[in-house]
C-alpha cells in the first residue's frame, strides 16, 4: 500500500503544502493516541468552560485544540489559524503561504460514550491584501480551499482528504505510524436509500423539509420508489464518512424558531471542508438555496444550513425547495 507523501507528490501538491499537511497529521496522531487511551489518559469529561459557540468544552476538545494550535503556529507555512474553539483568528508567521481552519474535535458529545469523533481541517492560500491576523483572511469562499480533510477516530483511524483531485482515504498503520492509501478515489453513489437528520427538530423545520422527510419515511407506501432508512451519528464527521463510503443524504436545516441562527453547522470548518470532500467524490453540497462552496463568508463562525450527499437525491430535494 502507498504511503501518503508519494500520493501527494504524484498529485503535484506543492512541497510547502505537503509539509503543512504533515504537521496537521502529526497532531492527529497524538489526538488519536489520547482518544484511543480514553479513560486511561485522564482526558474524558468536561471542563468548566464554554467556547464562543456557547458549548461546554470537553477536556479532549481543549487538548486537541492546543495540540493543533501549537504545531500549526510553529510551522513556517502558516500565516494564521482559526478554530471552533478560538474566538478570534490567531496570527502565525508573517508572509507564510497558507491559513488553516479546523474543528479540533467534531462530535465531542460522543467522547464520553466512545462514539465516533474527528478532526476536520481546511487550508486556503493566505491573503496579502489584509493583515495576517485579520478575520478577512478567512472571508474566502470555500471554492478557494487548496486542501480539505478529516481524521475520523473510529475502530480504525482514517484520514479522508482532497487537494483538489479525487477524495482519497488513508488508514493509520499503528505499527509504523504512517497513513497508508486504502481507497484511491471515493465516489458517492448518485442514488441512496439512507437519510441522516436529527428528527427531534422536526417541528422546527420549514414545511418543504417536513414534507420531504415525511416522504422518505413513507417510502413505497407514499410517492417514493424505494424504502428509506435513517442514521444519525451526532457527529458530522461520522455521518459524512458513511455517505462518502456508501451514499446517503445528510441534512442540518435551519430551525424556523432561530431566525438569527441559520442552522447549527459552521461554514468555515465544517460545511466548507465537507462540501469540498463530497463534491470531489461526485456528490452535491448546498444550503438549500446556494452551493456551499460559492458562499462569500460574512463572519468567522458563521452558520449555514447543510444538505449534502448523493447527487440525484440532493437534486430531487432542491427542486422542491
Ligand atoms: P445535534 C457536533 O456537535 C455537530 O456540530 C456536528 O458534528 C453534528 O452533525 C451536529 O452538531 C449534531 O447536532 O443537534 O444532533 O446535537
Q: What is the ipTM of this complex?
A: 0.98
* Enclosing H/E stretch for 179: strand 178-183
Expressed in angstroms and rounded, the spacing between residue 234 Cα and the centre of ligand 1 is 5
Cα 186 to Cα 143: distance, rounded to the nearest angstrom = 19
pLDDT band at 2 (very low <50, low <70, confident <90, very high): very high
Cβ(241) to ligand 1 under 6 A? Answer: no
The predicted pLDDT at position 30 comes to 96
Q: Where in the sequence of the chain do the CATH 3.30.540.10 domains occur?
A: 4-183
Q: What is the pLDDT of residue 46?
A: 79
For a ligand 1 pocket test, name from 103, 117, 236 the mutation site with the most ligand atoms within 8 angstroms of its C-beta: 236
Domain 4-183: which topology?
A: Fructose-1,6-Bisphosphatase; Chain A, domain 1 (3.30.540)
Which atom of ligand 1 has the smallest separation from the CA of 109?
A: 3
Residue minimizing CA distance to atom 9 of ligand 1: 236
Q: Residue 269: pLDDT above 80?
A: yes
Q: Whose CA is nearest to atom 14 of ligand 1?
A: 198
Helical (H) or strand (E) element with 79: strand 78-83
pLDDT of residue 18: 98
Alpha carbon of 219 to ligand 1 centroid (Å)? 26
User: If DSSP codes are grouped into helix, strand and coil, which group holds residue 4?
Assistant: helix
Q: How far apart are CA 240 and CA 112, in angstroms?
A: 21
Nearest to 283 by CA among 306, 256, 299: 306
- Rounded to an integer, the average pLDDT of 278-288 is 98
Return the pLDDT at 237.
Answer: 98
Q: What is the pLDDT of residues 115-155, one digit of tens each?
A: 999 999 999 999 999 999 999 999 999 999 999 999 999 99
**pLDDT higher than 80, residue 286:** yes
State which ligand 1 atom lies nearest to the alpha carbon of 201: 14
Cα(313) to centroid(ligand 1), Å: 22
User: Is the confidence at residue 258, as pLDDT, over 90?
Assistant: no
Query: Mean pLDDT over residues 77-104, rounded?
Result: 97
Cβ–ligand 1 contact at 106 (below 6 Å): yes
| Mean pLDDT, rounded, for 41-46 | 80
Is the confidence at residue 67, as pLDDT, over 90? Answer: yes
pLDDT given for residue 47 in this prediction: 79
CATH of span 194-318: 3.40.190.80
Q: What is the pLDDT of residue 206?
A: 95
Band (49; pLDDT cuts 50, 70, 90): confident
Q: Give yes or no for residue 264 CB within 6 A of ligand 1.
A: yes
Name the segment(s) of the chain with CATH classification 3.40.190.80: 194-318
Amino acid at each position: 500500500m502507498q504511503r501518503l507523501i508519494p500520493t501527494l507528490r504524484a498529485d503535484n501538491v506543492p512541497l510547502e503544502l505537503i509539509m503543512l499537511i504533515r504537521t496537521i497529521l502529526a497532531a492527529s496522531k497524538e489526538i488519536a493516541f489520547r482518544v484511543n487511551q480514553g479513560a486511561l489518559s485522564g482526558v474524558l469529561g468536561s471542563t468548566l468552560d464554554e467556547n464562543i459557540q456557547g458549548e461546554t468544552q470537553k477536556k479532549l476538545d481543549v487538548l486537541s485544540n492546543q495540540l493543533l494550535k501549537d504545531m500549526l503556529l510553529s510551522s513556517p507555512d502558516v500565516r494564521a489559524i482559526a478554530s471552533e474553539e478560538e474566538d478570534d483568528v490567531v496570527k502565525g508567521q508573517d508572509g507564510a503561504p497558507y491559513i488553516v481552519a479546523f474543528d479540533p474535535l467534531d462530535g465531542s458529545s460522543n467522547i464520553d460514550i466512545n462514539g465516533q469523533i474527528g478532526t476536520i481541517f481546511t487550508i486556503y492560500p493566505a491573503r496579502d491584501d489584509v493583515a495576517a491576523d485579520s478575520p478577512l483572511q478567512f472571508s474566502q469562499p470555500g471554492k478557494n480551499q487548496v486542501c480539505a480533510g478529516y481524521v475520523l477516530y473510529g475502530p480504525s483511524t482514517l484520514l479522508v482528504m482532497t487537494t483538489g483531485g479525487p477524495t482519497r482515504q488513508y488508514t493509520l498503520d499503528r505499527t509504523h505510524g504512517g497513513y497508508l492509501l486504502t481507497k484511491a478515489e471515493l465516489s458517492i453513489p448518485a442514488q441512496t436509500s439512507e437519510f441522516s437528520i436529527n428528527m427531534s427538530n422536526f417541528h422546527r423545520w420549514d414545511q418543504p423539509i417536513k414534507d420531504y422527510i415525511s416522504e422518505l419515511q413513507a417510502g413505497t407506501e407514499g410517492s417514493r420508489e424505494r424504502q428509506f432508512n435513517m442514521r444519525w451519528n451526532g457527529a458530522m464527521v461520522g455521518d459524512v464518512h458513511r455517505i462518502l463510503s456508501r451514499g446517503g443524504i445528510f441534512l442540518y436545516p435551519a430551525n424556523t424558531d432561530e431566525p438569527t441562527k441559520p442552522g447549527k453547522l459552521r461554514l468555515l470548518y465544517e460545511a466548507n471542508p465537507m462540501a469540498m470532500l463530497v463534491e470531489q467524490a461526485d456528490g452535491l453540497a448546498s444550503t438549500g438555496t446556494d452551493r456551499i462552496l460559492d458562499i462569500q463568508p460574512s463572519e468567522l463562525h458563521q452558520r449555514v444550513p447543510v444538505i449534502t450527499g448523493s447527487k440525484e437525491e440532493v437534486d430531487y430535494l432542491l427542486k422542491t425547495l
